[in-house]
Amino acid sequence: MEIILGLIRWVVIVVLLGVVLYRIFRIIRPFETGLVERLGKFHREAKSGLNIVIPGLERIIIVDMREQVIDVPPQEVITKDNVTITVDAIIYYEPTDPKKLVYNVGDFIQAATKLAQTNLRNVVGDLELDAALTSRETINTQLKLILDEATDKWGTRVVRVEIQRIDPPQDVQDAMNKVMKAERDRRAVVTEAEGEKRAAILTAEGRKESQVLDAVGEAEALKEVADAQKYEKIAIAEGEAEAIEKVFAAIHKGDPTNDLIAIKYLESLEKVADGNATKVFLPADLSATLGSIGAISELFKEDKADTSKELQKDLNESSNDSDESTEE
């Protein structure tokens, strides 16, 4: 029995010693700050690490210095155009002065929540529904400035404020959905029309380019045909010129008379007259040429007369011979 009582005494002593040691030696983590009070008054700040506190005379309050979050509950707010919407927000803050945070406000979380709700009603109440739905960044900025200034005396700094949702009434939401659907349908029609317009433009441009290419091809083909005809005519002209030069050389080499030249000239005119031309251009010295032709004509007439006389003479002689034969 005495052994059991002895064990109990030792256990009690160890527990009491542990409690005393825990009250004396306090370990503060790096992101915490301790406020040490002695006999009910603020005495000092305890930094991170091992700190000694006198039990019965001092007590320590641990303050978390990390950035923290306050979730503002949803509340109904009336906009400037008398539409009731439901709004909630989130506040991110961090302690800057643990002494003010502990001694200047009894419940910082509740105080910050009520302050955020009040100012949220004021800020959103100055906006119409459309502006409230599209101006989240403006609302966040205004709330941050107001809350940061108001909570500065509480030893905190508001890092940012985020509006989580802005929900209009169901009937307004249905009307907005119809408007958005109509807008999406309109944009779809416009997009489809723009696509068709673009396709028509591309088709027209393709047709235009095709016609241009066809015209260019035809022009090049005509040019090649014209060049071929030109080269053909040049070759023919050069051949005729060469033939004329050879004929001219042969004529001068044979030393022709004017009568022969005139006869050849007439033959050439005959060939010209047999052609399909409706106009015949004669040389400027036509009178001289015609004179030569007239002289040649007279020569032919004289030869013809002499020939006729000789034929008449032969006929007469033949007739006389016949008469003599008859008389005998």
Tokens read off for 208: 């235009």
Q: How far is 267 from 30, CA to CA, in rounded Å?
A: 133
User: Is the pLDDT confidence value at 281 over 80?
Assistant: no
Provide CB contacts within 8 A for 91, sequence distance 6+.
Answer: 69, 70, 72, 112, 116, 147, 158, 161
Please write the tens of the pLDDT for every residue from 99-127. 999 999 989 999 999 999 999 988 988 88
What are the domain boundaries of the chain? 18-64, 68-168, 171-254, 256-306
Please write the tens of the pLDDT for every residue from 220-271. 888 888 888 888 888 887 777 777 777 666 666 655 555 566 666 566 655 5
Task: Tell me whether residue 72 is exposed, middle or buried, using C-beta atoms within 10 angstroms of its C-beta: 0 to 12, 13 to 18, 19 or more.
Answer: buried
Please write the tens of the pLDDT for every residue from 61-76. 999 999 999 999 999 9
Lowest mean pLDDT among 20-24, 86-90, 165-169: 20-24
pLDDT score for 265 = 58
CATH of 68-168, one of 3.20.20.80, 1.10.287.1080, 1.20.1740.10, 3.30.479.30: 3.30.479.30
pTM exceeds cut of 0.85: no
State the pLDDT confidence band at 159, using cuts at 50, 70 and 90.
very high
